[in-house]
């Protein structure tokens, strides 16, 4: 990875417009995004699937929530002002696809060819499809139960949450007009809907592709290899995708914005993405939907659980993020008003990160252990900034509240 080559990560065809928040003027675009999201979910899961019903209901709810939280302004939508940016957005996604994605797709195609050439062999494809479907549903239900426990913990401490956020850049968005209880529910629904949409490509793969019991030992071994390879290029891919998400106004409004529109809580955790963005990141970025469904369910579980826990940037509320986690993972800065870091912001060489912590996380890919270096080199990012020091002081004050 040539981290010094800013042109590799910062090229843009359309107008560059950095965005981190929604405004009232985005109402029409946001509503169109929610309608498109509902249609995408219904088409992917099928109109009779419970996850399709949930996705459609949550999409409509989020449109109503935007009106309540930001207000309504009837203006010409951005998608009509700069329709070419939609084409650019697709090109950005395609240009950022990594070799491991093609390898995962090729492996799935090879397995389906094997099944097609040996139709009389006992592949038990229907059994694999049924097991895979249920594993993904169990994954979603279990993580949703965990998210609901976090919701209850937040609802019990709404005044504490308000007190903390009013000391940060969030004071511009938190007021009596919407109420902290609704802000908590809004974050919960944001994470839930992002989770539903993220799984949609995997359900499409289960519908149209086949998996063989006979090929299982080989595919699982190769899936593990691809999983490791993806981990070693994940931050590189994520930086580029995330940079575009904040610097292309259309992409922020239609894809990434929902992830930043909710309070910085574990409730929003999914895979660091908005709604439709999660679909594109899985379909045209991550190789996970192409894995054997059993391995996909495990991979998704690790991804979503980790993302929930690592987005709990409100101290004193379950699931509590430790001070050492805060020093090691600087993504919190990104949810408290600063646009950087664009990477995952991990800094294991931070002076307040212990050797025991590094040892506990020694199995992380090398690129992830100090992923913040790409921000330091490309943006001159300094982790020891006023925003970070403020977050640390809040954790020190409220962690044991």
pLDDT in tens, 235-266: 999 999 999 999 999 999 999 999 999 999 99
| d(C-alpha 133, C-alpha 317), whole Å | 33
Q: Is pLDDT of 2 > 80?
A: no
**pLDDT tens for each residue of 65-77:** 999 999 999 999 9
Mean pLDDT over the full length of the chain: 95
Quick count: other Cβ atoms within 10 Å of Cβ 322? 11
Q: What is the pLDDT of residue 198?
A: 97
User: What six digits make up the tokens of 101?
Assistant: 């994605």
303 CB contacts (<8 Å, ≥6 apart)?
Answer: 271, 288
- Name the DSSP letter for residue 291: S
Q: In this predicted model, which residue has the larger pLDDT, 363 or 194? A: 194
Asked if 255 contacts 261 with a C-beta cutoff of 8 angstroms, the reply is no
**pLDDT tens for each residue of 122-159:** 999 999 999 999 999 999 999 999 999 999 999 999 99
User: Confidence band (pLDDT; 50, 70, 90) for 176?
Assistant: low
User: Confidence band (pLDDT; 50, 70, 90) for 367?
Assistant: confident
User: Confidence band (pLDDT; 50, 70, 90) for 173?
Assistant: confident
Helix/strand/coil for 122: coil
Residues facing 110 on adjacent strands:
none
| d(C-alpha 46, C-alpha 38), whole Å | 11
> Measured between alpha carbons, how far is residue 27 from residues 176, 253, 363 in Å?
21, 10, 44
| d(C-alpha 69, C-alpha 260), whole Å | 14
Q: What is the pLDDT of residue 354?
A: 95
Asked if 11 contacts 243 with a C-beta cutoff of 8 angstroms, the reply is no
User: Confidence band (pLDDT; 50, 70, 90) for 1?
Assistant: very low
| d(C-alpha 266, C-alpha 305), whole Å | 9
Query: What does 8-48 look like in DSSP terms, one character per residue?
Result: HHH--SS-B----S--GGGHHHHHHHHHHHHHHHHHHH-TT
User: Confidence band (pLDDT; 50, 70, 90) for 209?
Assistant: very high
| d(C-alpha 103, C-alpha 92), whole Å | 20
Which residue is associated with the tokens 């664009």?
A: 342
pTM of the complete model: 0.96
| d(C-alpha 322, C-alpha 158), whole Å | 20
In the chain, what percentage of residues exceed pLDDT 70? Answer: 98
User: Confidence band (pLDDT; 50, 70, 90) for 4?
Assistant: low
User: What six digits make up the tokens of 225?
Assistant: 């290899």
| d(C-alpha 137, C-alpha 258), whole Å | 24
User: Confidence band (pLDDT; 50, 70, 90) for 7?
Assistant: confident
């Amino acid at each position: 990875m040539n981290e010094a080559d800013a042109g590799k990560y910062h090229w843009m065809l359309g107008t560059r417009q950095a965005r981190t928040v929604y405004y009232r003027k985005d109402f029409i675009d946001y509503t169109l995004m929610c309608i498109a999201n509902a249609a995408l979910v219904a088409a992917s899961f099928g109109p009779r699937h419970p996850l399709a019903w949930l996705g459609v209901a949550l999409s409509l709810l989020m449109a109503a929530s935007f009106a309540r939280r930001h207000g309504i302004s009837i203006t010409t939508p951005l998608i009509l002002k700069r329709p070419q940016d939609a084409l650019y957005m697709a090109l950005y996604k395609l240009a950022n696809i990594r070799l491991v994605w093609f390898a995962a797709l090729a492996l799935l195609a090879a397995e389906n060819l094997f099944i097609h050439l040996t139709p009389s062999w006992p592949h038990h494809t229907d059994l694999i499809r049924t097991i895979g479907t249920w594993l993904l549903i169990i994954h979603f239900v279990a993580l949703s139960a965990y998210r609901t426990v976090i919701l209850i913990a937040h609802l019990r401490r709404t005044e504490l949450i308000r007190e903390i956020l009013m000391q940060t850049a969030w004071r511009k968005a938190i007021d009596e007009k919407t109420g902290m209880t609704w802000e908590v529910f809004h974050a919960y629904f944001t994470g839930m809907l992002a989770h539903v949409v993220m799984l949609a490509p995997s359900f499409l793969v289960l519908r149209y592709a086949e998996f063989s019991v006979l090929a299982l030992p080989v595919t699982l071994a190769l899936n593990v290899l691809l999983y490791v390879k993806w981990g070693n290029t994940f931050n590189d891919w994520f930086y580029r995708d995330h940079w575009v998400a904040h610097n292309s106004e259309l992409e922020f409004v239609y894809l990434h914005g929902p992830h930043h529109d909710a309070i910085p809580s574990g409730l929003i955790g999914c895979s660091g993405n908005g709604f439709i963005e999660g679909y594109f990141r899985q379909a045209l970025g991550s190789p996970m939907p192409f894995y054997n469904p059993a391995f996909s369910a495990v991979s998704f579980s690790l991804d979503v659980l980790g993302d929930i826990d690592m987005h709990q940037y409100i101290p004193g509320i379950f699931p509590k993020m430790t001070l050492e986690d805060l020093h090691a993972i600087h993504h919190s800065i990104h949810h408290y008003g600063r646009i950087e870091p664009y990477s995952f912001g991990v800094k294991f060489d931070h002076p307040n990160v212990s050797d025991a912590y590094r040892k506990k996380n020694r199995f992380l890919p090398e690129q992830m252990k100090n992923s913040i270096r790409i921000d330091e080199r490309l943006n001159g990012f300094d982790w020891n900034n006023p925003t970070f020091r403020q977050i640390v002081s809040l954790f020190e004050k409220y962690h044991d509240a």
